[in-house]
């Protein structure tokens, strides 16, 4: 053994090393860098062939676990985009999402975008595998020269893995590990990139990347970015737009072309220069495009019902139905990539939207609320208001007025009293003579049966004292119907009938209050009533006695087009739920024919709702002091309620249900009915008409005012 090596010389304190020493150290570093690069690349590539033994007992799996970088869902799982809400005709009305992502196929992406991205991010994408050894070596050498840590050199496949891990991270530890500048993260990316390379083609990986990557401003994926920055779609992006977006992925915040146009332009021009250097655009295209400033046309995808293209109130009702009735979770709506086919009819919705503002502008303190359901199915077809949903300020509200019970529906409740009486054997010829005002023989002023009698007056002094039930219903006589309650002896029957027909806003608690206190005012409709519930209950009568739960949904489909299933594995129930016979068909059809008189005869209170040539049955309502008015009208195919009220405070709305209410109904339905064939209601049942049925002419008819209705 020789003598020990002499200690290395050190320059004297405060004395810089000599020139020869500096050159010697630089020479050693230059020689070591290629070797170190090869060593690092070789180690990374070796991970892909065999489990890496990093230290005794530490494998790649343990390294990944310790880094908390294991994805909560597989990186190769099918991508999900925004949940899309479609109208009955297939048009898009709203979207729900946590990450704004609209998936597109490869053929829906402009080729220039693919080329721009590959050129600036991974020019050898089609030549290498999941990893690019040359790129890694080049990055390592560059970083060593700069004195930094080994970084860069990632292929698009590795970047796809990183984006997926970041977006799927559910804990702060996973989020940190997904972006950490560490060997663990590189190994994780390498492993999953190799798996993706074995499962997908290059074009599929590129398409998946463009559907995944974050472009800033809340836009995930190319289609959302194209809409957000340029109000166009991925298939129609220009060279300048493609280069801007391709450069944007490097730093979506600092290179945002809306907020930082100069930085975005410089980066765009780098992309264009790279494309020219690689021979993918001409010198002429380079000069012409770089001469242009970055031009944006901000757009984007509205999230939720406040941004619905149509039917914001319907959308809100739908959302509550999905999560409340059908049991979907908010996460399923935001991240499930579902397609929800709804019952909304755009033509009915637009006609209703125009009708409500034609009578009451958006800045009115009064709300005009129009709700359409389909009798016999319960499908909710339209919800219109002279308000915008989900905004703040004048003409805005976040309360779903079509669903909320905020005001009374007045004499529309007389239908429930008439139906209950008919179920108990009364017929339409039941005649009473009442005074005006009328003092009840049964009900007291403050409820119960002790004290001053309950009294009521008609709207004017021009009502005949003696009326049968048919004419009293059409004229809407208050005195007749309180006297009819007297004859029944209790309000329990009318209350029960209203609930039976589907008036869901009449809760069990409210029903108990009216029946236990024997409040004779029930037939005059003072109870806060949901417009949707009112339309639903009337639709039961106009459908021949079949009650249907209201529904806004036709189908809920997963991203692969199959029906969504619940926790038990069965498809979520989006079918209709109808109960036939809750009201005998003979009673329902007779009431319907009689209520045609309210619209079609001269003695009716809703003649403004008439559309010549069409059969329309309906009933008006006005609450005390005119604090709200209502009208429910129906053809055989559409039942629609109109309510006018101030939802915030008591206010005289002016007029009766046959004024604003009937006018809105007419304006909304007239353009729809004009384009449709005339349909007829079933004839009345002579057994329920009593002596009003006339067979003298060889056919059965009855006279309601100056309207002749059929019976059989």
Assess contact for 270 and 242: CB atoms under 8 A. no
Which pLDDT score, from 0 to 100, does residue 446 have?
A: 81
> By CB neighbour count within 10 A (0-12 exposed, 13-18 middle, 19+ buried), where does 26 fall?
exposed
Which pLDDT score, from 0 to 100, does residue 178 have?
A: 74
Our CA angle for 438, 442, 447, nearest 5°, is 95
Helix/strand/coil for 382: strand
Assess contact for 701 and 708: CB atoms under 8 A. yes
Which pLDDT score, from 0 to 100, does residue 77 have?
A: 85
Which pLDDT score, from 0 to 100, does residue 34 have?
A: 43
Q: Tokens for 589?
A: 């059809």
- Relative orientation angle of helices 172-179 and 183-199, to the nearest 10 degrees: 80
Task: Return the CATH number of 63-290, one of 3.20.20.70, 1.10.20.60, 1.10.3810.10, 3.40.50.360.
Answer: 1.10.3810.10
Distances in Å between the Cα of 617 and the Cα atoms of 198, 412, 504, 590 are 67, 12, 22, 11
Distances in Å between the Cα of 190 and the Cα atoms of 42, 49, 119, 121 are 13, 11, 21, 17
Which pLDDT score, from 0 to 100, does residue 141 have?
A: 59
Q: Where are the domains of the chain?
A: 63-290, 407-710
> Consecutive 10-residue runs of the chain (712 residues): their mean pLDDT?
40 40 38 42 47 45 51 75 97 96 97 98 93 68 52 80 87 78 78 91 97 96 98 98 97 97 98 98 97 95 95 98 97 96 98 98 97 98 97 94 98 98 98 97 83 94 97 98 98 98 98 95 98 98 98 96 95 97 98 98 98 97 97 98 96 96 98 95 98 94 97 95
Q: What's the rounded Cα separation, in Å, for the pair 231 and 627?
A: 46
Assess contact for 594 and 709: CB atoms under 8 A. yes
Q: Tokens for 114?
A: 């693919």
3-state secondary structure 419-469: HHHHHCCCCCCCEEECCCCEEEEEEECCCCCCCCEEEECCCCCCCCCEEEH
Distances in Å between the Cα of 279 and the Cα atoms of 75, 235, 286, 549 are 34, 22, 11, 64
Assess contact for 345 and 382: CB atoms under 8 A. yes
Distances in Å between the Cα of 437 and the Cα atoms of 456, 457, 625, 633 are 5, 4, 16, 29
Among residues 52, 54, 104, the alpha carbon closest in space to that of 81 is found at 104
Please tell me the total number of residues recorded for the chain in this structure. Answer: 712
Q: What's the rounded Cα separation, in Å, for the pair 697 and 677?
A: 28
Which pLDDT score, from 0 to 100, does residue 28 have?
A: 37
**In 10 A of CB 512, how many CB atoms?**
11
Which pLDDT score, from 0 to 100, does residue 174 have?
A: 79
Which pLDDT score, from 0 to 100, does residue 187 have?
A: 82
Q: How many helices and strands (H and E) does the chain possess? A: 24, 21
Q: What's the rounded Cα separation, in Å, for the pair 261 and 568?
A: 52
Which pLDDT score, from 0 to 100, does residue 404 have?
A: 98
Helix/strand/coil for 223: helix
Listed in sequence order, the residues at least 6 apart from 517 whose beta carbon sits closer than 8 Å to its beta carbon are: 447, 448
Q: What's the rounded Cα separation, in Å, for the pair 393 and 371?
A: 24
* CATH architecture of the domain covering 407-710: 3-Layer(aba) Sandwich (3.40)
Q: Tokens for 377?
A: 């199915």
3-state secondary structure 650-709: CCCCCCCHHHHHHHHHHHHHHHHHHCCCCCCCCCECHHHHHHHCECCCCCCEEEECCEEE
Which pLDDT score, from 0 to 100, does residue 190 have?
A: 87
């Amino acid at each position: 053994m020789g003598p020990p090596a002499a200690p290395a010389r050190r320059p004297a304190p405060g004395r810089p090393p000599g020139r020869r020493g500096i050159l010697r150290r630089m020479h050693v570093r230059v020689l070591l860098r290629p070797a170190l690069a090869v060593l690092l690349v070789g180690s990374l590539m070796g991970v892909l062939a065999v489990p890496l033994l990093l230290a005794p007992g530490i494998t790649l799996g343990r390294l990944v676990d310790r880094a908390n970088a294991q994805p909560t869902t597989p990186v190769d799982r099918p991508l999900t985009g925004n949940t899309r809400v479609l109208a009955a005709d297939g048009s898009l009305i709203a979207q729900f999402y946590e990450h704004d992502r609209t998936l597109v196929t490869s053929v829906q992406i402009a080729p220039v975008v693919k080329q721009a991205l590959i050129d600036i991010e991974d020019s050898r994408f089609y030549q290498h595998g999941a990893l690019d050894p040359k790129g890694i070596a080049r990055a390592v050498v560059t970083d060593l020269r700069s004195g930094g840590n080994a970084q860069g050199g990632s292929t698009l496949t590795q970047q796809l893995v990183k984006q997926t891990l970041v977006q799927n991270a559910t804990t702060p530890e996973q989020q940190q590990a997904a972006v950490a500048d560490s060997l663990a993260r590189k190994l994780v990316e390498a492993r999953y990139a190799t798996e993706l390379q074995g499962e997908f083609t290059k074009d599929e990986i590129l398409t998946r990347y463009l559907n995944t990557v974050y472009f800033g401003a809340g836009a995930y994926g190319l289609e959302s970015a194209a809409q957000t920055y340029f109000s166009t779609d991925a298939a129609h992006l220009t060279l300048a737009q493609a280069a801007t977006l391709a450069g944007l992925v490097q730093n979506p915040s600092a290179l945002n072309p809306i907020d930082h146009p100069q930085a975005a332009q410089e980066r765009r021009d780098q992309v264009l220069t790279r494309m020219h250097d690689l021979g993918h655009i001409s010198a002429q295209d380079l000069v012409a495009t770089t001469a242009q400033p970055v031009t944006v046309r901000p757009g984007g995808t509205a999230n939720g019902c406040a941004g619905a293209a149509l039917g914001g109130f319907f959308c809100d009702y739908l959302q509550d139905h999905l999560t409340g009735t059908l049991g979907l979770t908010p996460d399923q709506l935001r991240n499930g990539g579902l397609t929800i086919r709804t019952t909304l009819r755009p033509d009915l919705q637009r006609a209703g939207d125009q009708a409500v503002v034609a009578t009451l502008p958006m800045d009115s303190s009064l709300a005009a609320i129009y709700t359409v359901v389909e009798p016999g199915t319960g499908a909710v077809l339209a919800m219109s208001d002279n308000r915008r949903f989900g905004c703040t300020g004048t003409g805005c509200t976040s309360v779903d007025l079509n669903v909320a019970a905020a005001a009374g529906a007045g004499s529309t409740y007389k239908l429930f009293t008439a139906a209950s009486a008919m179920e108990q054997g009364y017929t339409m010829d039941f005649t009473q003579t009442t005074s005006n005002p009328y003092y009840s023989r049964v009900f007291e002023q403050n409820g119960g049966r002790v004290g001053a009698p309950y009294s009521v007056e008609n709207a004017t002094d021009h009502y005949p004292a003696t009326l049968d039930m048919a004419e009293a219903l059409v004229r809407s006589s208050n005195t007749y119907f309180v006297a009819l309650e007297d004859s029944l002896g209790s309000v329990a029957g009318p209350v029960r009938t209203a609930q039976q027909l589907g008036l869901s806003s009449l809760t069990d608690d409210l029903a108990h209050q009216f029946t236990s206190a024997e409040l004779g005012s029930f037939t005059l409709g003072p109870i806060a009533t949901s417009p949707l519930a009112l339309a639903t209950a009337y639709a039961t009568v106009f459908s021949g006695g079949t009650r249907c739960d209201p529904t806004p949904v036709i189908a809920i489909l997963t991203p692969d087009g199959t029906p969504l299933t619940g926790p038990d594995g069965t498809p979520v129930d989006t079918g209709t739920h109808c109960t036939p016979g809750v009201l005998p068909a003979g009673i329902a059809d007779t009431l319907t024919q009689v209520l045609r008189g309210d619209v079609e005869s001269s003695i009716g209170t809703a003649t403004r709702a008439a559309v010549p040539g069409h059969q329309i049955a309906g009933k008006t309502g006005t609450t005390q002091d005119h604090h709200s008015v209502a009208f429910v009208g129906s053809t055989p195919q559409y039942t629609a309620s109109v309510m006018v009220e101030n939802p915030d405070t008591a206010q005289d709305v002016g007029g009766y249900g046959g004024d604003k209410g009937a006018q809105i109904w007419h304006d909304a339905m007239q353009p729809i009915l004009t384009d449709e064939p005339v349909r007829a209601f079933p004839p009345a049942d002579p057994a329920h008409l009593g002596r009003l049925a006339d067979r003298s002419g060889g056919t059965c008819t009855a006279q309601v005012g100056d309207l002749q209705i059929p019976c059989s």
